[in-house]
Amino acid sequence: MESFFLPARVGSRFCVHHPPAKGVTLNQAVVFVPAFAEEMNKSRHVVAQTARRFAALGIGVLLIDLLGCGDSTGSLEDATWDAWRDDIDLASGWLHDYGYRRLLVWGMRLGGLLAAECAADRGGAYERCILWQPVVSGDTFLSQFLRLAVANVMLSGSTAGVSVAQLRSRLAGGETIEVAGYPLTPALAASLGLAALTRPLCPVEWFEVVAEHGRAPSPAALRVAEGWRANGTEVTMKAVGGESFWGAANAAELVQCPTLVDATASAAESWV
């Protein structure tokens, strides 16, 4: 494993590269697109575990912190949806230059929405798209994120309440709003509000974490997957039992999800 800062058009992006074992011919590699805000922080350990499993199978992995996120340069106030897409292209170009020839893209939560969009728009750049609990609707995700700000106001004991609708109105009026310590700009909020899960132009491996083993994925996820299949995309969807380790309810400690790691590694054995 090696960590480094990858020069970008503006600033640099913090990356962690998990190469396959020494002596293994470079062939496949995965670009990982992380979740957003605290979801990224709470999921890093599970992502790292899976990256090591990929590397053990001979699949390289590049984890990248997007502009204004994690350890990359810039503030979240500098971030835009298009800049994040450019970051994914930057990571893919680095893997090509390193010597990998077959690329896959893997995204989690909001990063899954971004990954699917890139797999749809970049032609044959990616031969497979791996999705972990992807956000289906950017607008719904935006409302859920803004509820964190509403909850923080309530917990503060302030008598001046606030609603999601009021926060949306302030964003629409050009105001940047702080949500759980993260500045959300009107431009980024507008992009989120318009974003929807896009059908990739490559096979899809979709993983959903459910509360109980044997429970089906959410109806929204099933509807999207069926729509993609109807349009000719190969979609393999698997639900695994486990806790939503990325969620706000798990703030006190990091939560493991070995079922997701094992299921993803097991699927990857057929890609090599």
36 vs 25, residue with greater confidence: 36
Confidence label for 241 from pLDDT (cuts 50, 70 and 90): very high
Q: For residues 191 and 234, state if they share a domain.
A: no
Task: Provide the 8-state DSSP code for 78.
Answer: G
Residues 222 and 254 in one domain: yes
Mean pLDDT of the chain: 94
Is there a single domain that holds both residue 225 and residue 147?
A: no
Q: Percent of the chain beyond pLDDT 70?
A: 96
190 and 203 share one domain: no
Query: Residue type for 258, please?
Result: P
* pTM, 2 dp: 0.94
SS3 37: coil
**E-strand stretches of the chain:** 2-7, 12-18, 28-33, 60-64, 102-108, 128-132, 177-179, 182-184, 204-210, 235-241
CB-based burial of residue 194 (10 Å sphere; 0-12 exposed, 13-18 middle, 19+ buried)? exposed
Based on the domain organization, do 109 and 77 belong to the same domain?
A: yes
Q: Residue with structure tokens 């309530």?
A: 154
State whether 98 and 23 are in the same domain. yes
Judge if 190 and 65 occupy the same domain: no
pLDDT tens-digit series, residues 5-17: 999 999 999 999 9
Domain that holds residue 242: 2-136+196-268
Residue 40 shares a structural domain with residue 103: yes
The yes-or-no verdict on residue 160 having pLDDT over 70 is no
Residue 24 pLDDT grade (very low, low, confident, very high; cuts 50, 70, 90):
confident
pLDDT of residue 248: 56
**Residue 7: strand pairing partners:** 12
Query: Among residues 171, 195, 219, which one ends one of the domains?
Result: 195
108-122, 196-210, 248-262: which has the minimum mean pLDDT?
Answer: 248-262
Instruction: Give residue 158's pLDDT.
Output: 63
> Which residues does residue 129 pair with via DSSP β-bridges, in sequence order?
105, 204
Determine contact, residues 222/216, Cβ cutoff 8 Å.
yes
Chosen domain end from 148, 163, 195: 195
Are 78 and 44 within 8 A, CB to CB? no
Which domain CATH number covers 67? 3.40.50.1820
Mean pLDDT value across residues 99-117: 97
Q: How confident is the model at residue 179, as a pLDDT?
A: 94
Q: Which residues contact 140 (CB under 8 A, 6 or more apart)?
A: none
188 and 201 housed in the same domain: no
- Closest-CA residue to 63 (of 17, 117, 24, 98): 17
DSSP character at residue 196: B
